[in-house]
A and B are shown apart, each in its own frame.
Chain A
Amino acid sequence: MNCEVKVKDRIGTINPIFTCQPAGAQYASIGIKDCIGIVHGGQGCVMFVRLLISQHLKESFEIASSSVHEDGAVFGALDRVETAVDVLLSRYPHVKVVPIISTCSTEVIGDDIDGLITKLEEGLLAEKFADREVHLLPIHTPSFVGSMVSGYDVAVRDFVKKFAKKGEPNGKINLITGWVNPGDVKELKHLLAEMGIDATVLFEIESFDSPLMPDGKAVSHGSTTVEDLQATGSAIHTFALNRYEGAKAAQFLEKKFKVPSTIGPTPIGIRNTDALLKKLSAVTGKPIPESLVRERGIALDAIADVAHMFLADKKVAIYGNPDLVIGLAEFCLDLEMRPKLLLLGDDNSGYVDDARIKALQDNVDYPMEIVTNADFWDLEDRLKNKGLELDLILGHSKGRFVSIDYNIPMVRVGFPTYDRAGIFRNPVVGYAGATWLAEQMANALFNDMEVKKNKEWLLNVW
């Protein structure tokens, strides 16, 4: 077998690819309208995650902290959450949804946030905020379990669990996007609109690409409402595009409300987008329209310009969120490229059984490594000490110095991508995403040829 799946052979982490669970829950929370989460832990668990997301989106948004200090860590800090809920609701009259997101410290000290929520619902909410629609929910995201990826997965499930109701079948589908960018949501909604499919999208974050308005009053916020979340229980079908970021919610809806679900495909590349459209069509009975045939053609036309001439046989390393990495690898293979190293940055033991990874193992005809629980040292060590040669890196900004120090061009993709302008605005999913990715990769290689004076004359004619 040419393709090997292995676990990182060190115990520690040198330059982590992922952050921890609460970050995933926080990223999910900002997709909901009138929602401000309270992260129950030290202030850094919020301050730095807000900074991280803010760097990525170049926008601001609100997440609160229970500000656990020394005394809380020793004696329990539930009183901090009580105060936080009260203060937050008092000062933000529009807020309806308040997830209480746990962290390592408050899980270790064993604060019972579930019990507290019951107490607050019967006490504070009933007494002080009786005329307000307020929903509190616990999200358990201890940092020592999983990663930001599982944190996102857990959070989506918990939001759905909190709100989903069985009503009259509404004829809609649920589309759980996974951890994507505003540009991706926009593209997915476009595909649905072309198909004429009515969907509840978790989560509608496209408005995070928000304007600077003359009145100075624009704010960025998610647009998925409580009503949307409630409606997920009455849908005809759930599509969770990413197995590791949203499948838990789909499975919950299937089990509790008998809403059938489809996990995947992550619609990266032409083939995976085709598959999604086919599945959407099969479930809804709506045909794939001519307009999408044309869009697909435009994408293929653009890709044909760069694929077999420039991208073919280029060796690439890919790291980041698992569904993204796998989707990108699949697309790269379709583009005749050679993904040499895939890095999945957490200890999820399910990756080895992923059918997509098995397919890679069965079919790749050159040496390829897939490392789980990986860190950036798994990439750098191979480049520095083990003879790995690469033409391109695909991944997020935290790996930027590998690209810089080893002179390997890099296309920024995933989360976070703070060191390039506007990445969040562009989709990697759908036909538009396929075009964007192929052209970004080609342009990165072109630029590298010029910087290194490596056949830079080639593009004199093209």
Chain B
Amino acid sequence: MPYHEFEVSKCIPERKMHAVVKGPGEDLTDALPKGYLNTIPGTISERGCAYCGAKHVIGTPMKDVIHLSHGPVGCTYDTWQTKRYISDNNNFQLKYTFASDVKEKHIVFGAEKLLKQNILEAFDAFPDIKRMTIYQTCATALIGDDIGAIAEEVMTERPEVDIFVCNSPGFGGPSQSGGHHKINIAWLNQKVGTVEPEITSDYVINYVGEYNIQGDQEVMLDYFKRMGIQVLSTFTGNGTYDSLRGMHRAHLNVLECARSAEYICDELRARYGIPRLDIDGFGHKALGDSLRKIGLFFGIEDRAEAIIAEETARWKPELDWYKERLQGKKVCLWPGGSKLWHWAHAIQEEMGVKVVSVYTKFGHQGDMEKGVSRCGEGALAIDDPNELENQEALLTLKPDVIFTGKRPGEVAKKMRVPYLNAHAYHNGPYKGFEGWVRFARDIYNAVYSPMHQLSAIDISKDDYAIDKGFVTRRMLSDATLSEEAKASPITGYTGPFDPISGLRGKTYPVFERRAATEAAE
């Protein structure tokens, strides 16, 4: 039986088509969970709304922008300071959020005047910021405010400012994914092609579907810069508004999170002929191959190889140290969308853990195709998970650790399963060669937490050795290892708490432009 029926969901039989156990010898044509369908009300699903998909996931990581939500304050407040998408301009986009503060009288009489005054006030409060994104919300979508017209009006009055309008109310789709789609297409239609970027390299890419969680983008940017590649724009983590208006001039779109940003890559391919190259920034092999591909595309594979050699030499031994100690540990990989496939195979291969379940809150069937392919036999794949199903799965699967969101993480904690934040990370970044070791370190720290071991003991009943004043992680993780492994001089990750700040002031080699070389010849 490939489709999996949860005991707790027997009364909602349609749920049966949303979970699949990968059976022996079965492939994607035997079973695939349904995806991206309307949520069943009252299931206590973990999904968010289309507004948050647009504003919170994709819009807000743009760093030099006033992010103004047109609606009551709640939408803004609730999605503010709940993510870790940092930027190199002192985190303006994390710190400031704007709401037009729609009240009852505006619902009755319209809120366009209110919006206009808001826009002007916001620009006046931050005279150095000249770019703005306005997000529609449920309330202002329903009263039919013409946000685009107001934005045009302001842009006419103040030619130095530019405003992007994103009409993606919370109800616009089954989940946040509806908002990803809307903002992709809106940006492409409204803004791409409105700025001609300065091209400074022979090798020009857009880095798409990357949100700079804990510095992921900056890690990858470091590699690209070391290769002499110009990253024209990042969609959208640590990205600037105007650089993203020039996306049409890139030679290649390098795509990380296809779930949230494949739409714009597909359109750029269709409209401008820019190829789409899907990559994985997670995992040493996948990342290495990704850099090689980009290098090959531009005829500079040697530069990629040099980075891979250097980084692998530095970090692989530490990764292997963790792998030896995490071998066979069971993992529930329960993220939002893309990480289920970014991580599923790579963590098994390179950290030795076994993925016993994947889920996706807002993924589509395409994400499940990737995720299920990358899992081993017996893995339970769940679309649009809900509270009771998750608890049932945890009881059945008994994972050693779970990667999920903050609140579901609290549920797992009570069930004595340690959790790592799959969305915001515990101690990231997790991308890059070093980042991948940081991820392994966080898994190891969770699995072998002495406190976690203590929580299993019922002091009123259980007999346990009280002869020790402490236990170290190593005493737990190395107990069954060979003498040789135990003797390893490595003690785990040796990088700093903050590996990102140091990248910001770094200088990079200057590569001669091909055009210049050719002209000289």
Contacts and interface: CB of A to CB of B under 8 A. Distances in A.
A48 B103 contact: no
A88 B125 CA distance: 46
Contacts of B51: 42, 44
Interface residues on B, range: 35 or more
B195 interface: no
Contacts of A145: 103-104
Contacts, number: 252
Contacts of B121: 10-12
Contacts of B169: 42, 73, 105
Contacts of A69: 38-39, 171-174
A430 interface: no
B149 interface: no
Please indicate which of the listed interface residues B41, B121, B406 has the most CB atoms of chain A within 10 Å of its own CB. Answer: B41
B410 A12 contact: no
Given A64-B42, A69-B38, A48 B52 contact: yes
A70 B48 contact: no
B139 A144 contact: yes
Given A20-B72, A69-B171, A144 B142 contact: no
A52 B102 CA distance: 22
Please name the 10 residue pairs, one residue from A and one from B, whose CB atoms are nearest each other, closest first: A20-B74, A42-B170, A84-B42, A44-B49, A84-B41, A48-B78, A12-B118, A105-B138, A87-B42, A143-B72
Residue among B102, B122, B171, B411 with the highest chain A CB neighbour number at 10 A: B171
A399 B169 CA distance: 27
Nearest to A151: B74
Nearest to B456: A214
B256 to A, nearest CB: 24
A2 interface: no
Given A66-B42, A91-B43, A45 B170 contact: yes
B453 to A, nearest CB: 11
Contacts of A73: 138, 141-142, 169, 171
Contact of B80 (A49, A104, A398): A398
A48 B122 contact: no
A103 interface: yes
Interface stretch (B273-281, B412-420, B477-485): B412-420
23 contacts: A12-B121, A13-B99, A15-B97, A45-B170, A48-B79, A60-B410, A65-B39, A65-B44, A67-B45, A73-B138, A83-B40, A84-B41, A84-B42, A87-B41, A87-B43, A91-B42, A103-B138, A105-B170, A108-B138, A109-B142, A144-B106, A217-B415, A219-B414
Contacts of A36: 44
A38 B43 CA distance: 10
A43 B170 contact: yes
Given A20-B72, A87-B43, A219-B414, A12 B49 contact: no
A246 interface: no
Contact of B142 (A21, A90, A105): A105
Given A44-B52, A44-B75, A48-B52, A105 B41 contact: no
Contacts of B415: 216-217
Nearest to A108: B142
A216 B415 CA distance: 4
A35 interface: no
B9 interface: yes
B77 A216 contact: no
A218 B414 contact: yes
Interface in A186-214: 210, 212-214
A414 interface: no
A41 B170 contact: yes
Interface of B: 8-9, 11-12, 38-52, 68, 71-82, 94-104, 106-107, 114, 117-118, 121-122, 125, 137-139, 141-143, 169-176, 387-388, 405-408, 410-411, 413-416, 455-458, 462
B40 A67 contact: yes
In this complex, the member of A11, A41, A69, A72 whose beta carbon has the largest number of chain B beta carbons within 10 angstroms is A69
Interface in A130-147: 142-145, 147
A43 B39 contact: yes
Interface string A78-120: 0011011111101110000000000111001100000000000
A67 B38 contact: yes
B230 to A, nearest CB: 32
Contacts of A217: 414-415
A304 interface: no
Interface string A6-33: 0000111111101111110000000000
A455 B72 CA distance: 46
A20 B11 contact: no
A347 interface: yes
A59 B458 contact: no
A43 B49 contact: yes
Contacts of B76: 13, 16
B173 A22 contact: no
In the complex, which of the residues B45, B72, B137, B462 has the most CB atoms of chain A within 10 Å of its own CB atom? B72
Contacts of A20: 72-75, 77
A450 interface: no
A265 B139 CA distance: 37
A210 B413 CA distance: 12
Nearest to A42: B170
Given A91-B9, A398-B80, A54 B73 contact: no
A91 B11 contact: yes
A88 B40 CA distance: 10
A440 interface: no
A65 B76 CA distance: 19
Contacts of A11: 101, 114, 117-118, 121
A395 to B, nearest CB: 14
Given A14-B96, A48-B48, A87-B11, A54 B42 contact: no
